[in-house]
Amino acid sequence: MNGFMFLFSLSFDYLSRIGFFLKSKNSITRMNLRMIIKRSSMKRWMLVLLWFSSIHINAQNENQRERDSIVDHHVHFLSPDLISQWKALGIPFSKKDNFYSDIDSIVRLLGTRHMKLVSMAHVFTSSEFGPPASDAYEAVKKENNYLAYLKNKYPKTIRAYYGIDPLQNYTLTEIKRCQRELGLDGIKLHFNTSQVFLTEPEHRKKVKEVFKYASIHQIPVLLHLDNSHGSFGELDVRLLADSILSGLDYVKLHIAHFGTSGGFNARTKSVIDTFTELFSEQHPISKQHIRFDISAVGLNKDSDGIARLNEEQFKELGIYARKLGFDKIVFGTDYPLYSAHEYLNVLKNKLNLTPDELKQLLMEK
């Protein structure tokens, strides 16, 4: 029975009972009419309140189901140890520690339990921050261990990607440990932090070893491709395609931030243009599982030195997203930069996404 029929039936029953008492010639019955009306009214309004409460609860449950249906493919965390080290280096934090390190807080603030949770263990080999080189691997292991600890809280909804520097001599050792001992899900490579240059033959060799192992063991890879070199662009993409990915039987690769370090600019367009050319040329990578996460691309606010997009840039981003195809794009927030619904609303409104495009964007790929 719907709500209106329910209320109508209550009102009809109530009026029928009043009519019976008014027709009665019994004085006692008529004397008690007021008290009966009062009791009936109380019961009636209690039922009405219960009905409205059930609507509210159902709406809340529906909102929760909608939130839980979103998969965020780019969520960052920091261990308490890493937070302490960065604070000691004078790196400012805009939010409380639990925003970065506590998984229950991350789930609540992000707005979904389904996520690709990404370790930043690769930072310990960077010259910008981290312990001395002799201690770096121990720090990497601790950070990836903390990722395993977080995943164990939500094992069915978190896919854990362990951070690794592909240029280190312990790279494959750590990949095997994370895969076999920790039961983690994927590899995170960050070519900017690790300063990987595919134009260098030795770098290509080491990166190829990682992708070859990932292919054999069917391990997905999340790649921050941009190394921030001034000449980064088309050549890097073609070297990745020709020297690293070509010839591999299994590839499941997600490229972060549309191939750059966030925002939308000439570098982004160069990367997307090159990939779409390779796909149209029927290059071997066109048959591989390669997707692009849109995290930190459609910025409506400044972020870590990357300027927000103006209206013309948003318009052009929409053109490039449609050129690439929403079947090749996955949703990600770069949390704590955005919550899932906050960033989804930015993309929906700024790119004028159709219902079909929005559905495609949020589909599991």
| Span 250-272, pLDDT tens digits | 999 999 999 999 999 999 999 99
The reported pLDDT for the residue numbered 46 is 52
Judge if 54 and 79 occupy the same domain.
no
- Look at residues 43, 64, 85 and tell me which one is the last residue of a structural domain: 64
Lowest mean pLDDT among 16-20, 114-118, 141-145, 286-290: 16-20
Q: Which residue has the higher pLDDT, 164 or 127?
A: 164
- Give Cα 264 distance to the centre of its chain: 19
The reported pLDDT for the residue numbered 37 is 47
d(CA 18, CA 360): 58
Domain tally, the chain? 2
d(CA 165, CA 74): 18
d(CA 287, CA 290): 9
Angle at which helix 171-180 crosses helix 201-216, to 10 degrees, equals 20
Place of tokens 């589909």: 363
Strands in 71-76's sheet, in edge-to-edge order, are 71-76, 114-118, 158-163, 186-190, 221-224, 252-255, 289-293, 329-330
Judge if 101 and 246 occupy the same domain.
yes
Q: How confident is the model at residue 34 (pLDDT cuts 50, 70, 90)?
A: low
The reported pLDDT for the residue numbered 308 is 98
Judge if 141 and 271 occupy the same domain.
yes
CA-based max dimension of the chain:
106
C-alpha distances in angstroms, 300 versus 296, 308, 314, 344, 351?
Answer: 9, 5, 9, 12, 12
Predicted confidence (pLDDT) at residue 348 exceeds the cutoff of 90: yes
The reported pLDDT for the residue numbered 40 is 56
Judge if 57 and 95 occupy the same domain.
no
Judge if 90 and 38 occupy the same domain.
no
Judge if 75 and 26 occupy the same domain.
no
pTM for the structure as a whole: 0.83
Judge if 258 and 284 occupy the same domain.
yes
d(CA 75, CA 339): 10
Burial of 34 (0-12, 13-18, 19+ CB in 10 A): exposed
Q: Which residues contact 357 (CB under 8 A, 6 or more apart)?
A: 322, 326, 351
The reported pLDDT for the residue numbered 28 is 47
The reported pLDDT for the residue numbered 68 is 59
Residue 350's nearest CA partner among 317, 326, 314 is 314
- Look at residues 47, 64, 81 and tell me which one is the last residue of a structural domain: 64
Judge if 35 and 111 occupy the same domain.
no
Judge if 112 and 239 occupy the same domain.
yes
Is there a contact between 67 and 362 (Cβ–Cβ < 8 Å)?
no
Give residue-wise pLDDT tens across range 93-104. 999 999 999 999
User: Once rounded to an integer, what is the mean pLDDT over residues 160-174?
Assistant: 98
Give residue-wise pLDDT tens across range 269-326. 999 999 999 999 999 999 999 999 999 999 999 998 899 999 999 999 999 999 999 9
Give residue-wise pLDDT tens across range 182-240. 999 999 999 999 999 999 999 999 999 999 999 999 999 999 999 999 999 999 999 99
Judge if 180 and 36 occupy the same domain.
no
The reported pLDDT for the residue numbered 22 is 44
Q: What CATH number should be reported for the domain holding residue 212?
A: 3.20.20.140
Q: How confident is the model at residue 18 (pLDDT cuts 50, 70, 90)?
A: very low
The reported pLDDT for the residue numbered 109 is 98
The reported pLDDT for the residue numbered 38 is 54
Domain assignment of residue 169, given as a range: 70-362
266 is written with which tokens?
């000439």
- Look at residues 49, 64, 79 and tell me which one is the last residue of a structural domain: 64
The reported pLDDT for the residue numbered 61 is 46
Q: How confident is the model at residue 14 (pLDDT cuts 50, 70, 90)?
A: very low
Residue 122's nearest CA partner among 227, 219, 199 is 227
The reported pLDDT for the residue numbered 41 is 58
Judge if 59 and 79 occupy the same domain.
no
Judge if 105 and 227 occupy the same domain.
yes
